[in-house]
Structure 1
Amino acid sequence: MLARRFGPTGIRVPVIGQGTWRIDSAERDGAVAALRAGIDAGMTHIDTAEMYGEAEAIVGEAIAGLREELVLVSKVVPGNATRRGVVRACEQSLRRLRTDRLDCYLLHWPGNHALEETVAGFEDLRKAGKILSWGLSNFDVEDLDRALAIAGPYRIACNQVLYHLGERAIEHAVLPWCTRNGVALVGYSPFGSGDFPDPASPGGRALAGIAVAHGTTPYAVALAFLTRLDNTFTIPKTGRPTRAVENAGAAALRLTAAELTLIEAQFPRGPRPRTLPML
């Protein structure tokens, strides 16, 4: 599995990991099996969050006996992001995950509590060994500038944002900001959260043609495109072991310049939006 350095952490992280949003909507045994199949296939970067219902508990079951192999990430909701609240929320996540530490802990989106408080809570957790690094999610450039001014350079591990073929807005400013400042960019919902290109559409046919040429699936082609740049990672979610293995295979897929150009044409990034898209 292709791995890259995760922001300033020095940790090598698989470019394709496993998301867990809504994984609790699937049959539990199947969800656990899918996560384990993904781990076996090299997707050892697992992302979850306190607001994902039973997801942390499912992850905890799936990773039993495998913790040392993993890069484990969770998130705190903004309502809990005071200095003390961050610590309490993290400790609760650790209990659900059945582990003593997270590799990275994220603020799920910008909130009303002072960001200085949140960063102080993250640093308290890091010094206590309960997290190895911290990052952000759904942060636009203005918010990223503020976080960088508070934390200083080489503290923000990643920014996790919405990124799929139909939503490439982050390429305008957020992705360049992350690249300049050594912050990893992790794209969530890479299949569009139920809105993957229709096979009968021009874009769907283009993906299918590329997939046939490489002996893979249109989903794998999408993942390869979204991780084509050195600073990018993605975290697809699936409740099916076979799909997990297919997703992992995308890390070895190398798209040609002509294929990248075709995908760019079929799924243009469009104009820069006034606000950062998020789910």
Structure 2
Amino acid sequence: MPAIGIGTWHMGDDAATKATEIKAIQTGLNAGATVIDTAEMYGNGRSESLVGEAIAPYDRDQLFLISKVLPNNASQAQMEAHLDASLKRLGTDYVDLYLYHWRGGIPLSETVDELQRLTTTGKIKSWGVSNFDLSDMQELWRLPNGVKAAANEDLYNLGSRGIEYSLLDWQTQHHVPLIAYSPVSNGDQLGANLTTNEAVLTVARQHDATPYQILLAWAIHRSQILAIPQTSDSEHMAANVAAGEIRLTTDDLALLDRAYPAPSRKEPLDVL
């Protein structure tokens, strides 16, 4: 699938922007994106409802829908009911990937076993995790069904490279793709004002691209990564998808590395 999908965090919250947001999602799909990432948490389900309206005219089998279950709902007793509610809002009878949004108080083994059971119902095609660090993934892998996790979704961008120290290599070795959320950062997130950095601007000029496109191209330059940027602007959405065609050179990557070096020690997992 294309390495750039559509994120929907903060979408669906305002009725006044609903039509604009639906148009943005559809612009992304028309430009070639096939992955849409959402969650029951986003707007208390309003994001899923928005996605459901946006995808209604499209061939469902050509889309890859990701949603997430909240930790408090990730028990054997509650998960399926919350999945059913997500499916109803999305207007579909299955999601392609269902993620455990972050770790909570329910035993990981119980959550994993229920996620795996739900694959037998046809309501989810695969399952994975989100906001998991290396120790979480190692614990997951020790569970009988843990190795069936299809992906891990973490915050990752040029200004937030902590997972490169150990987690990203572990996922590569274990064939677990990374879904990168906030791949162009979130404003001045974590002190990294990425879009105005001179190295980013230099690479952007060399590729006749925007800084945002360079940040996306950097986020997906490893083959195991899917980036899910969010925008409610149709023009920006089309540019996001087009960034998947940019190929950064060795010199580009070296320049960006000097501006934002890879971690030299283990760092706490960045979370938004």
Instruction: Please give the TM-score of this superposition, normalised by the length of structure 2.
Output: 0.93
1:51 to 19, 41, 55: 41
Counterpart position of 2:159: 166
2:238 to 231, 241, 245: 245
Q: Offset of 1:275 from its aligned partner?
A: 2.5
Q: Quote the Cα distance in structure 1 between the aligned partners of 2:223 and 2:145.
A: 23
Verify: 1:187 aligned to 2:188, yes or no.
no
Q: Could you tell me which runs of 5 or more consecutive residues in structure 2 were left unpaired when the two chains were aligned.
A: none
Give the residue type in structure 2 aligned to 1:115.
Answer: L
Give the residue type in structure 2 aligned to 1:22.
Answer: H
Instruction: Give the secondary structure class of the aligned counterpart of 2:66.
Output: strand
Computed over aligned residues only, the root mean square deviation of the Cα atoms, in angstroms, reads: 1.5
1:269 to 259, 262, 271: 262
Verify: 1:37 aligned to 2:27, yes or no.
yes
Moved over 3 A (4+): 151-154, 270-274
Deviation by residue 1:55-105 (Cα, 9 ceiling, x = unmatched): 111100101032221110000010001012111111110011010000000
Verify: 1:233 aligned to 2:226, yes or no.
yes
Q: Offset of 1:215 from its aligned partner?
A: 1.7
2:193 to 197, 202, 218: 197
- Whether the 8 Å CA contact 1:104–1:133 is kept in 2: the answer is yes
Give the residue type in structure 1 aligned to 2:131.
Answer: N
- Whether the 8 Å CA contact 2:5–2:37 is kept in 1: the answer is yes
Q: Quote the Cα distance in structure 1 between the aligned partners of 2:179 and 2:141.
A: 18
Q: Quote the Cα distance in structure 2 between the aligned partners of 1:267 and 1:20.
A: 27
Q: Offset of 1:273 from its aligned partner?
A: 4.4
Q: Offset of 1:37 from its aligned partner?
A: 0.4
Instruction: Please give the TM-score of this superposition, normalised by the length of structure 1.
Output: 0.91
Of 48-57 and 267-276, more deviation after overlay is shown by 267-276
Instruction: Give the secondary structure class of the aligned counterpart of 2:12.
Output: helix
Give the residue type in structure 1 aligned to 2:34.
Answer: T
Deviation by residue 1:137-186 (Cα, 9 ceiling, x = unmatched): 00011111111111447511100001111111011111111101110101
Q: Quote the Cα distance in structure 2 between the aligned partners of 1:229 and 1:71.
A: 21
Q: Quote the Cα distance in structure 1 between the aligned partners of 2:267 and 2:158.
A: 19
Instruction: Count how many residue pairs are aligned between Structure 1 and Structure 2.
Output: 264
Q: Could you tell me which runs of 5 or more consecutive residues in structure 1 were left unpaired when the two chains were aligned.
A: 1-12
